[in-house]
Amino acid sequence: MRALDLLDRHEARWQAATRHPFLEGVREGTLPDEAFEAWLVQDYLFVLDGLGFQSRLIPRAPRTDQALIAGGLVALEGELSWFEDKAKERELDLEAPRHPTNAAYREFLIGLETEPYPAAITALWAIERAYLEAWTSARPGHPDYREFVEHWTTPDFAGYVSGLEGAADAALEGASGDERERAEETFLTVARLERDFWEMALSSEGGA
């Protein structure tokens, strides 16, 4: 099994994770402000949680993957500053509580610590690939949101996602049947949580 096989096998669920009315709203400029603001605040908190997950993954990754994951970690830290700037421009408070959907995603990330490495790296690949595809579907993006679309569709980011795919493929290649099953399970959980994340944002009514 290779990472890309998971996309084929679970095409409908992957579509639901990466195509969403939220993203159409970003493309067309029809998104309610509250939805975008709720997404922005919650995604900042998600990236903070991602920083924890990714830093815990480095010591147990094979040597060949450590530079890739550490590079991703540094990019996430920079992304937090970027989110802080974007929140300031919109006068948003980033010290909000996590929405239950985001709290569930956080628990999943924490749980990945006890999953076999092939499952954890497959999850990381799926998380990043989901954003690459989702924001690509919103291209070029309404001018109000264009910088967000550009942020997750750069060649650099696409290159990072390819690197993660290679790491996931290598880990799956050497994985046991049980480990592959765990990887498929974490992939499906990422797909569900990504879809829920868009739903969360779109159903937010003010006071994000």
Give the footprint of ligand HMH on this chain (CB under 6 A): 43, 46-47, 50, 127-128, 130-131, 194, 197
And the tokens for 205?
Answer: 């009514």
11-48 in b/e form (b: 16+ CB < 10 A) is: eebbebbbbbebbebbbeeebeebbbbbbbbbbbbbbb
And the tokens for 7?
Answer: 């996309």
By C-beta, is 130 or 168 nearer to ligand HMH? 130
By C-beta, is 119 or 161 nearer to ligand HMH? 161
Q: How far is the CB of 58 from ligand HMH (least distance, A)?
A: 16
Q: How far is the CB of 14 from ligand HMH (least distance, A)?
A: 13
Q: How far is the CB of 127 from ligand HMH (least distance, A)?
A: 5
8 A C-beta contact, residue 108 and residue 53: no
Place of tokens 């949680």: 49
By C-beta, is 18 or 175 nearer to ligand HMH? 18
Q: How far is the CB of 167 from ligand HMH (least distance, A)?
A: 16
Q: How far is the CB of 157 from ligand HMH (least distance, A)?
A: 9
By C-beta, is 117 or 148 nearer to ligand HMH? 148
In angstroms, the CA 190 to CA 174 distance is 22
Helix and strand counts by DSSP (H, E) for the chain: 10, 0
By C-beta, is 65 or 194 nearer to ligand HMH? 194
Cβ-closest position to ligand HMH = 131
- 115: nearest Cα among 171, 189, 183: 183
